[in-house]
Amino acid sequence: MVPERNPTVLVVDDNDMMRALLRGILRQEAYHVVGEARDGGTALSQTERLRPDVVCLDVVMPNTDGLETLRSIKAQWPETVVLMITANSDRDTVEAAITAGASGYVVKPFNAGRVLATLQRAVAHLRKPARGA
């Protein structure tokens, strides 16, 4: 099933190279990267301004961490798909992210295939027509 438009994505990571890597992977697969942020506060303001379909979110960031950012995004924009992409793989963090509403969790270092497959599963509902449409 083909989406009517390419999903929009906000990439959030405090590492410049990681943001560039994710941006490149996503653009090669026709995702539309609409913005980037290096911390949770900027991620929230970008999410409010840009209303992306998907937020790719790191856990460990300065100021506001990814789990707190995830909770805020899901509280304000519950329809936004959030994919955690992080080096933090401890069980408590993974469980906290999924409980808070993350649609997927990818552990760094990762390969492009893993990111894209996880993202594809996470955005599958965006491709379905809305009820009553």
Phi (first) and psi of residue 107, to 5 degrees: -95, 130
Ranges under pLDDT 70 in the chain: 1-4, 125-133
Token look-up 């304000």 returns: 76
Superfamily in which the 8-126 domain is placed by CATH: Response regulator (3.40.50.2300)
pTM for the model:
0.89
Residue 88 has a pLDDT of: 87
* Distance set, CA 34 to CA 9, 11, 64, 88, 130 (Å): 6, 8, 21, 25, 23
The total number of residues shown for the chain amounts to 133
Domain limits, the chain: 8-126
